[in-house]
């Protein structure tokens, strides 16, 4: 019943909406709802994290593809630059310089993601 109003929950449970309101103020219910929200957010974060590396790899592949059109490469490059926190640094450069720079940065981004993933999978290998 996530996302429903107290009135809608009350209708589904065939109770008065003031009863649902009272339930929603009880500490154990608040704690349970907080746990459920946290679980949902953690699950969403894991799903997004799992999609990050393939997404970055797809962007890198687009940038490195000699047959890809610039209209495809530029948005892919901008996405990677945003991920790296770089904004509009390529405006004053020629296309070849931009392509070389973007390829190097994209490759670095993929390698950093791979390192982060390996560390996440084996945290015991971290130095103390």
Distance (Å, rounded) from C-alpha 32 to C-alpha 103?
A: 47
Longest dimension (CA), the chain: 68
Give pLDDT tens digits for 100-119. Answer: 777 787 788 778 777 777 77
Query: Which range has the top average pLDDT, 25-29, 114-118, 119-123?
Result: 25-29
Domain boundaries, the chain: 6-122
What pLDDT shows up at residue 95?
A: 66
Asked if 62 and 68 touch (Cβ cutoff 8 Å), the reply is yes
Q: How many CB atoms lie within 10 A of CB 12?
A: 11
4 touches 33 (CB < 8 A): no
Residue 126 has pLDDT above 70, yes or no: no
Q: Given CA atoms 40, 42, 48, 54 in this order, what sign does their dihedral have? A: negative
Concatenating the DSSP letter of every residue in 18-54 gives HHHHHHHTSHHHHHHHHHHHHHHHHHHHHHHHHHHHH
């Amino acid at each position: 019943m996530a996302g429903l109003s107290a009135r809608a929950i009350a209708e589904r449970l065939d109770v008065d909406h003031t009863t649902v309101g009272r339930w929603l103020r009880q500490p154990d219910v608040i704690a349970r709802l907080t746990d459920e929200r946290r679980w949902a957010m953690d699950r969403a974060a894991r799903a997004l994290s799992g999609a990050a590396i393939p997404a970055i790899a797809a962007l890198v592949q687009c940038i490195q593809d000699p047959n890809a059109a610039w209209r495809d490469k530029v948005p892919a490059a901008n996405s990677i630059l945003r991920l790296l926190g770089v904004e509009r640094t390529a405006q004053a450069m020629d296309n070849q310089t931009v392509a070389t720079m973007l390829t190097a940065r994209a490759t670095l981004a993929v390698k950093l993601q791979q390192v982060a993933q390996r560390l996440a999978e084996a945290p015991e290998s971290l130095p103390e």
